[in-house]
Structure formats: C-alpha cells, structure tokens
Amino acid sequence: MPDKQTRQYYTSAFESVIAQLNKEQELAVNHIEGPMLVIAGPGTGKTHILTARIGRILQQTDAAPYNILCLTFTDAGVLAMRERLLEFIGPDAHKVHIYTYHSFCNTVIQENLEYFGRHDLEPLSDLERVEIIRRLLEQLPQEHPLIKGKRDIYYHEGALYDLFKRMKTENWTSEFIYNKIDAYLKALPEREDYIYKRKFKDFVKGDIKEAKLQEEVERMKKLRSAAALFPIYKEAMYKARRYDFDDMVLWVLKAFQENEALLRNYQEQYLYLLVDEYQDTNGTQNQVIQHLIEYWDKPNIFVVGDDDQSIFEFQGARLKNILDFYQKYEKSIELVLLKDNYRSSQNILDTSIAVINNNEKRMVVTLENLEKKLAAQNQFFATSTIKPHLFEYHNRLAENTDIVNRIEALHQEGFPLNEIAIIYAKHKQARAIIALLEKKKIPYNTKRRINILDLPMLQNLRLFLQYIAKEYRQPHSAEEELFQILHFDFLGISAQDIGRLSLYMAKHQASEDLYWRSILQDKKLFKLLKIEKPDTILEFGKLVDELIIHFNNYTTLKLLEKLINRSGLLKKIIHHDDKTWLLQVVATFFDFVKKETERHPRLTIYRLLETLRNMDANRIALGVNKTIYSDNGVNMLTAFGAKGLEFQYVFLLDCVKENWEPTTKGMQGRFTYPDTLTYSNIEDAMEARRRLFYVGMTRAKEQLYISYSKKDNKGKPLGRAVFIDEILEDTTLKIEEKILDKTALFEAQVLLLKELQVAQVERLDEATVNGLLANFALSASSLNRFLNCPLSFYYQYILRIPSSSSEAASYGTAMHFALRRLFDKMLLSETKTFPTEQVFIEDFEWEMKRQKGNFTKKEYQRRLKAGRSFLSKYYQYYIDEFPKKVKPELDIRNVVYKDVPLKGAIDLVEYLDKNYVHLIDYKTGSLDDKKLKMPTKAKPYGGNYWRQLVFYKILFDNYKSSNSIAQSGEIAYLETDKTSQFVKEKRTLSSKEVDVVGGMITAVWQKIKKHDFYQGCEDKNCKWCNFVKRNIMSDTYNDIEAEELDDL
C-alpha cells in the first residue's frame, strides 16, 4: 500500500491533469456509466483522455484496478498507456488490465487451459507454417486446380497462407466463401462488362462474353479449392500442437460463443471496458468485444477512435465497426468529438481538412449533427503564418535533390534532424532519396524490415557453406561454387590471379582431369603461371581442406564460426565503414543458427541450408527489423509507420497517382476474391488512400511540404495525386513550380548513377584465348547465350566454368532419354514396333536414377511422379501416330556454314520422303509462344525456340551425309498445358528465315573471333553480370535460359 504522502502526491498530480482538460475532454473523462464513443482526431490527446478516465473511474467508483480492461492494438500502445497512467495514479497503474487484443486472448487461454484442452501448445514459427502448408500442397493430386500447370507446386503457398489468415481474422468458414463465390458467379452474366455492347465477329449485341466469364470461373475454382483446404490446415496445426496469433483471438471468440459460464466470468470481472484505436479492430476482435459487453443493455464501454485515420483495412480493420457500434447503442450512447488539436498550425489543419472532407464514408457525414473542424491549440505553432507548400518538379531526380538540399541546409543551421520526416506511401519511393542522404552523409532513421538473407554477405556465406557440404559428400562436385567463392573480396585473392588460373584450367581441365580444388595448393603451378599473391590462395586452399576434413567433427555453429573468423570475413567487417550494421547482421544470423540448433540438436549443415532455401522461397525474413538509427537523423517513414508520430517538418514525397492512389491490381501472391466477399469497392479504396494521405499531412507541426514530379526519370509522364487538386480547390494554396539549377542536378545524378554501369571484365591474353577457341563450334545454345549476354558466353563457353545441373534440366534429360530409347528400340526391333508403355516409363526411371544426385529427395519424388504421369499420357495419346521413318538424337558435328563451324544434336529427324525431313525438338516445362516468335523491331533476334529450329535447319541442310532438306520444324511439349493438351508447335522453315539466322551466326562469329565478349548485358537478373558487378550469384527463377535449349 502506498503511504499517505505518496497518495496525496498522486491525487494532486491527477487533479491538476483533470484541471487542464478542455471542455470535450472533460466531458469524456467524467463520463463513467454507460457506453461512450469518443472521436479523437489527430493530435487531440487520445492517450491522455483514456488514461485520465481510468484514473477517474478508480477515483470515483468502488471498482478495483482489475475490474478495468483496456484494449489496444500494439505493444507500444500498451506501454504508452501504462507509462502515462503511472504518472497520473502511481503504482496502482500496474494493476489495471491493459492489454493488446492478442495478449488479452492469450491470457484467457492460459487461465482456462482445461477448457482449451491442451497444455502443450506452442506458437507457430514462420518456418513451421511454411512446412505445414507445403506438406499440404504435396499431398494434392497433379490435377488439383492449385497444382495443375505449375512448374512449382508450392507456387500458391503464399496465397494460401494469406487466405487462411484472412479466414481467421474475418472468421470466415469455407462454406461462407463457397456461398459468396456462387452468388458472385451467378450474377456475373448480368454484369455490363460481360455483355457485348455491339456486334463483334460472330457475336451480336447482348451476347455474353463467354471467354471472359470462363476466366473468372477458373479464378473462382482456384479460390474455392483453396478455401476447401482450410479445415485440413487447421487440423494439421492442431496435430502439430501449434497455434498462431490469429488463433488466439479466434479460439477465445469460439469459447465465448460456446461456453456461457466462461464468458460470464469475464463479463462480471470487467465492469469497465476501454478500447483504443477502435477503427483498427478487425472482425474477430470486434466480436470478442461485443461478447464482453453483450450482458448489459447499457455497458460501461468507452471507445476511442478516429474514422478518418483508419488505414489498416488491408489487415481487416473495418471502418464500419465504429458506425455499427454507434447505431447499436444509439439510445444510450454518448458521443464526444474532440476538436482541439495540440500539434499543428491552423494552416496545416485547414489544408488537411480540405482533403479529408472529400470522403463520404465518415461519421460526420452519417451523423449530421457533427462538425469536425479541428482548432489549433499548440502553444508554439497554432498561429504560425507559415503555409503548407505544394511543389511541382520536373522529375524525381529534381524532387529528391531539392528535398535533400533543403534538409542539408537545415542540418547546417543546426536544426535537429529528428524533427524532420520524409513520408511516403511505399518504401520503394524512398530508395533514391535514401541513397542521396547516404552519399551526402546526412544521418537518417528508417525502420524498414529487411531480410538479411538477401544481403550479399550472407548469400556468400551460404554459398561457402554449401560448397563445404557438397564437397564433403562428394569430392569435386561443387567446382562451380568454388570458382565463385574465389572471387569473394574478403578472401583477398586478386582478379588477375584468378584469370590466370581460369585460362590454365580451361585449357587443361578436360585433358588432364584437373580440379580447381587441387590446383589451389599447387605451388609449382603458381610459379609457372606467375601468380602474384600465391600465399593468399594457398591460405584459402588450406582453410577449405581443413573445413572439409573436419566437416563431420565440427558442430554447425563451430564450422560457421571458423569460416567467419578464418576466411577474412570478420576482419573485413571490422574495418568496414558500416561495421555496426554488418556485425548486427552476422550476430542475427548466428542467433538464428543457434535457435535452430536448439530446436534440432543435431542440425546438420545440409538441414540448415535447406531451411534457408525454404525461407528464400517463401520470403520469410530472418526476423530482423533493420533499423538504421542515428540519435539525430531524418525520419524516413511510410504514412502507415508515421501514425501517432509528429514532426516540425514533414515532406510528403512523390505524391503521384501511381503510388498514393489505389491500385486496381490484385496483389500478387494472393487469390482474387469475388467482390461479394471483399469489403470494399473502388470508391472505398480511394477513400482509404485519402485517409492515408490525411494521416501523412497531420503529422506536421509547423512546416508541410507536399511535392510531386511531372515525369519519372525516364521521361514518362506522371499524374499528381487527386488529393493535391482537392487542396487547390478548397484552399488558397497554389502549385509552386520548382526549377533546379543544372549543377545541383548534375551533382546528384553523378552521385546516384554510379551503380548502373554494364558489367565488364578485363581482356585476356589474345594468344591464349585463341588457343581456347581452336576447337570451338557454335551451337544453338552458345549462339543464344552470346546474343543474350556476351559476358555470360565468355564465362560459360570460353572459360568453361563448370556448372552443376539444375533439377529441372536433369528431369528434362530423363524425359528426353525415354523418348530417344522409345524410337531406338522401335528401330532395332525386327517388326518395327514400339516397346510397351511400361518399358517406355522404365527407361525414364532408369535415367532419373542416374541423375538422382541432382535432386533433393522431395524434388526427386515429385519429378518421378510427374514424369511417369506425363509420359504415360503421352504414350497413350500418340502411340499410333508416332512416325517410324526417323533418326532419333542425330548428333551433328563438323558442319561449316559460311566459314562458321557449327554443331548440335537434333532430338528427332522424321523422313518425310526422299528429299524432305521434319525436325522435332522436345521440351519439358510450360509452353510459351513468345519463344517461337519471328524477329520484330523490338526483339531483333526473335524467340529462342524459333531461332533454335532455324539453326537446326541450317545444321541439317549443311550436313554432308544427308541429301535431304529440312522443310519444317516442331517444338513438341512433353507436358500438358492448362487445358490438359499436349501442344505441338509446327513451323515451315523458309530460306528467308535461314538468311536471318545465318546473319546472326556470322555476326556473332565475327565478334567471337575478335574476342568481343567482355561486356555484359543490361538484364538486372543476369547471373554472370551480377557476379562480375557484385561478386554474388543471383539464384532467381529467371535463370532458366541456360537449360532451355538442352542441346549441347
């Protein structure tokens, strides 16, 4: 019990707080019995009155602190509330039940474990979530709408999770979704968009657009089948003894609905209920509140919120909740509207109001007796004569440059940077300006969530681990990784030295059975090749050997530690400008591995690497909230993140349509929901974005700069956000066009453009390269490679960097093999009959077994299953049509066309008659008719498959042991398309096409002879260009080009 003196101190402190309240605040605080709704606009002292009212209840009623329940949204909210309450009423503040929705529900669960049935439940980690959903997908049949036609069966994993999450936060059942889908589809043919408005082709006015309708039906089929998986997901979670955040609320809601005694307990305990940020509650949370108060006709519930600041609709927050609440208790409810704003100048408030007044779905519109005009009361800024500015710039470079220059000037005057915020809608809008701040060494804060697994440093570390693991399992199986690792800058090996070794290897590797790993310890060779820094390489070689030898003795953590310490990485980090951040990254990674080791005590490197790959595939960030923080830095925030904060200067950045106004696009990685199910239509979406803009504006205390650019940096015109026009219409503010002088722009451009260069490597010694080229002949693949990126050609075909086979390519090989054996066996049989389907599939399985090393266990099972199924169908479909006058796998070498040596292997040559043949190339994977396109202006090289077919014609026609001519070519897909058909794309091959591809062949050959291949391409995702530019390998799905042509 606090002593008398302390009590007195707090009593008088609290009284002085009460005395300072304005009229509306006082009304709200002194209201104790019955429902009340407080509309608290920005800067009106929301937390203040909530806590003051708690104090009031304790002061004036018999209620004990534990009779009061105060719910808010975030931990930060709880913290702020508790702190304020401590100031007002002292230590009793700790006894008041202030919770987030989730911590409240978790408490209910913990207090009633016998009801919830299980004691051993644990929260679900991100990784486990992925594993559960993946297992679910793996069990689906090939024909399932979510699997069919997908290269990656986990493709919908993210969308599924999104759907399940939404079903939980909205308390939707599968049946509920089915009903909404049915209603949607039923009404669809009556919609304007689905009816022809005038005659078109065979259709007359009034006909239904069947194709468009069908598209929608397909989408809904996917959603329906996804929703059907929800119970299975829940079951799997239960079996795994896991629950997630949304379950906490959902289970409590269910308990409240099903068990009256349990609900009654809580209803009796909580005599007073206070809810903060009511506009952010989602469906399930709101229902929990409703249950807690439904016992009384006139519940003592005190709800604070601001409908104009409801910006979290995407996570289920519902504006409608506030209005429903008001209407439900209309008879007894008291409504208070807080109008005094203690933050901003009147000028800023008036401008903000001009924007938000355009919203129609507002309390003030629905309840007409309200006038929501904020009055500035801040003692420093209220009467400031400074007006907000609307700046228009020529382009984003000018906009960013000007803002940064302005901040730089403020910084030099000694103005505290933490009173400045740059606010935007999406993180990507801030990329360029952050780069500028960095280059100008202006400190800034951002709390963007970053996945450290994406950072080059960790990718490199992982590659190193992967190398050690692979080499341990099978020596010399990871030469490609080793070559990449040699380039890591922290090892300190010189590029010149690697070049010398590469040339040596390219020349001698094949003939002498050499391996990179073995030459790393070859001192004699180093001398011979005049290696500059042999010791560095020797040191590295020693480390690699040691790690491989001890691979099984070291624990995963120890191995990692050795690797970081001994490789030079740690040294490099310690001397780096950004060492605090980099150390944080390494530490976080270490912590993660440690945690994984605790979960799986015998965690192997293999398992760790697989876990990490899973995380990549599912964009699971390594729980890192990267905050770049300086005590006095400019605040870089999204409008969402800025909520609740305030700054003297606010720059609303890049206020253009494309970023601030709603996107019509459905989010990628989500299912499309029917609009009978989603809560908002297009106008609602615009209002939501307007609220976001309003939140951004109302962060400013004194100075507000709203800016946009007329064009993007490429010159494409941009439209300013409609909110700016609304300001122009309802205020006296005018657009101010800002023109920057050329020097300032140029300087910024130079600062920013450094990174855009095309990758380039040094020319190598002519004679040696000529030596490497001596036996080179152009294939369809190498031609393709060169046309796409000469630098990649150089690495792959000149230096012949070893590359491991991807699982997709290995699967393709096995499929090709089965086809080839099918025709071989037919030709060898006396009766010229094809072997049975079983034999056909056994051949596929045989080759798969041979390729097994290139698959993980799961990949192998899946590919085996897929291959069997496709080949079986293929056999049954085509067995009676297969041609018999054929030559499978025709391997052609030593062809010279216009002085260019050519080679290649043709999957199947079909002899049509004495003079003509037809060329067939088998493909696995999904069909893409772009690849069969002839050259256009934009794509002067044409599609890869088209070029390949013409190349084969040239190859075949110039092949000496043949007297016939290739008349036509065909791409035959061994997998079915969306409509379960095997697609065959046939083309007659003309002499004109031969001339076009012939031209490419001779042009490329000229360049190769001139060694004109040291320059990269412009593709951001190019594997080798990224390797040269940043020493990292980008391992994205975009790297399918290489295995596409699968010829040689």
Partner DNA sequence: GGCCCCTCTCTTTTT
Partner DNA sequence: GAGAGGGGCC
Scanning 178-186, 310-318, 395-403, 506-514 for contacts with DNA by CB under 7 A, the matching segment is: 310-318
Scanning 4-12, 27-35, 421-429, 834-842 for contacts with DNA by CB under 7 A, the matching segment is: 421-429
CB of 783 to DNA, least distance (A): 21
Cα angle 259, 260, 264 (rounded to 5 degrees) comes to 125
SS3 865: helix
Per CB under 7 A, does 82 bind DNA? no
Which CB, 155 or 238, lies closer to DNA? 155
Listed in sequence order, the DSSP H helices in 901-1013 are: 944-957, 991-1009
Per CB under 7 A, does 980 bind DNA? no
Which CB, 154 or 554, lies closer to DNA? 154
Give φ, ψ of 24 to 5 degrees.
Answer: -65, -40
Residues in region 118-157 near DNA by CB under 7 A: 149-152, 155
What does the alpha-carbon distance between residue 23 and residue 1038 come to, in Å, rounded to a whole number? 63
* Binding track over 227-246 against DNA, x by CB under 7 A: ------------------xx
Per CB under 7 A, does 682 bind DNA? no
Cα angle 494, 550, 804 (rounded to 5 degrees) comes to 55
CA distances from 126 to 163, 242, 253, 325 (A): 16, 11, 24, 35
CB of 357 to DNA, least distance (A): 22
CA distances from 358 to 338, 376, 655, 690, 727 (A): 20, 21, 17, 8, 10
CA distances from 12 to 57, 62, 88, 190, 314 (A): 16, 20, 9, 69, 44
CB of 103 to DNA, least distance (A): 5
Q: How many CB atoms lie within 10 A of CB 741?
A: 7
589-624: buried (b, 16+ CB within 10 Å) or exposed (e) per residue?
A: beebbeebeeeeeebebbebbebbebbbebebebeb
Among 429, 350, 349, 445, CA closest to 652: 429
Per CB under 7 A, does 462 bind DNA? no
What does the alpha-carbon distance between residue 434 and residue 753 come to, in Å, rounded to a whole number? 14
Do 905 and 891 form a contact (C-beta atoms < 8 A)? Answer: yes
Which CB, 234 or 657, lies closer to DNA? 657
Nearby residues of 244 by Cβ (< 8 Å), 6 or more positions away: 123, 124, 129, 168, 237
Scanning 70-78, 293-301, 764-772, 916-924 for contacts with DNA by CB under 7 A, the matching segment is: 70-78
SS3 933: coil
- Give how far the C-alpha of residue 397 lies from the chain's centroid of Cα atoms, to the nearest Å: 26
What does the alpha-carbon distance between residue 753 and residue 748 come to, in Å, rounded to a whole number? 8
Placement of tokens 């042991």 in the chain: 961
Task: Report the C-alpha dihedral over residues 734, 374, 692, 406, rounded to 10 degrees.
Answer: 50
Applying CB under 7 A, which of residues 667, 839, 879, 896 lies at the interface with DNA? 667
Scanning 97-105, 491-499, 791-799, 898-906 for contacts with DNA by CB under 7 A, the matching segment is: 97-105
What does the alpha-carbon distance between residue 819 and residue 228 come to, in Å, rounded to a whole number? 38
CB of 524 to DNA, least distance (A): 47
Which CB, 196 or 551, lies closer to DNA? 196
Per CB under 7 A, does 599 bind DNA? no
Scanning 22-30, 588-596, 699-707, 929-937 for contacts with DNA by CB under 7 A, the matching segment is: 929-937
Applying CB under 7 A, which of residues 197, 441, 575, 992 lies at the interface with DNA? 197
Applying CB under 7 A, which of residues 425, 656, 700, 718 lies at the interface with DNA? 425
Per CB under 7 A, does 1020 bind DNA? no
Per CB under 7 A, does 224 bind DNA? no
Do 708 and 363 form a contact (C-beta atoms < 8 A)? Answer: no
Q: Which helix (H) or strand (E) holds 904?
A: strand 900-911
Do 310 and 640 form a contact (C-beta atoms < 8 A)? Answer: no
- Three-state helix/strand/coil letters over 694-744: HHHHCCEEEEEEEEEEEECCCCCECCECHHHHHHHHHCCCCEEECCCCHHH
Which CB, 332 or 936, lies closer to DNA? 936
CB of 428 to DNA, least distance (A): 6
CB of 42 to DNA, least distance (A): 17
Per CB under 7 A, does 219 bind DNA? yes
Q: How many CB atoms lie within 10 A of CB 199?
A: 11
Which CB, 89 or 105, lies closer to DNA? 105
Per CB under 7 A, does 74 bind DNA? yes
Nearby residues of 97 by Cβ (< 8 Å), 6 or more positions away: 65, 66, 68, 69, 70, 104, 270
Per CB under 7 A, does 426 bind DNA? yes
Per CB under 7 A, does 217 bind DNA? no
CB of 623 to DNA, least distance (A): 9
Per CB under 7 A, does 76 bind DNA? yes
Per CB under 7 A, does 933 bind DNA? yes
Which CB, 146 or 353, lies closer to DNA? 146
Which CB, 226 or 1008, lies closer to DNA? 226
Do 845 and 804 form a contact (C-beta atoms < 8 A)? Answer: no
Which CB, 427 or 613, lies closer to DNA? 427
Which CB, 380 or 1037, lies closer to DNA? 1037
Per CB under 7 A, does 449 bind DNA? yes
Per CB under 7 A, does 763 bind DNA? no
Which CB, 834 or 946, lies closer to DNA? 946
Scanning 312-320, 353-361, 832-840, 955-963 for contacts with DNA by CB under 7 A, the matching segment is: 312-320
Applying CB under 7 A, which of residues 5, 16, 141, 198 lies at the interface with DNA? 198
Nearby residues of 20 by Cβ (< 8 Å), 6 or more positions away: none
* Binding track over 646-665 against DNA, x by CB under 7 A: ----------------xxxx
What does the alpha-carbon distance between residue 455 and residue 315 come to, in Å, rounded to a whole number? 28
Per CB under 7 A, does 102 bind DNA? yes
Which CB, 14 or 73, lies closer to DNA? 73
What does the alpha-carbon distance between residue 1048 and residue 781 come to, in Å, rounded to a whole number? 7
CB of 924 to DNA, least distance (A): 12
Which CB, 100 or 792, lies closer to DNA? 100
Residues in region 315-354 near DNA by CB under 7 A: 315
Residues in region 623-642 near DNA by CB under 7 A: 638, 640-641
Which CB, 14 or 101, lies closer to DNA? 101
Which CB, 581 or 640, lies closer to DNA? 640
Which CB, 114 or 190, lies closer to DNA? 190
CB of 835 to DNA, least distance (A): 33
* Binding track over 366-405 against DNA, x by CB under 7 A: ----------------------------------------
**DSSP-derived pairing of the beta strands 886-897 and 735-737:** unpaired
- Binding region for DNA (CB under 7 A): 73-76, 100, 102-103, 149-152, 155, 196-198, 200, 203, 209, 212, 219, 245-246, 312, 314-315, 425-428, 449, 638, 640-641, 662-668, 672, 926, 930, 933, 936, 938-939, 1037, 1040
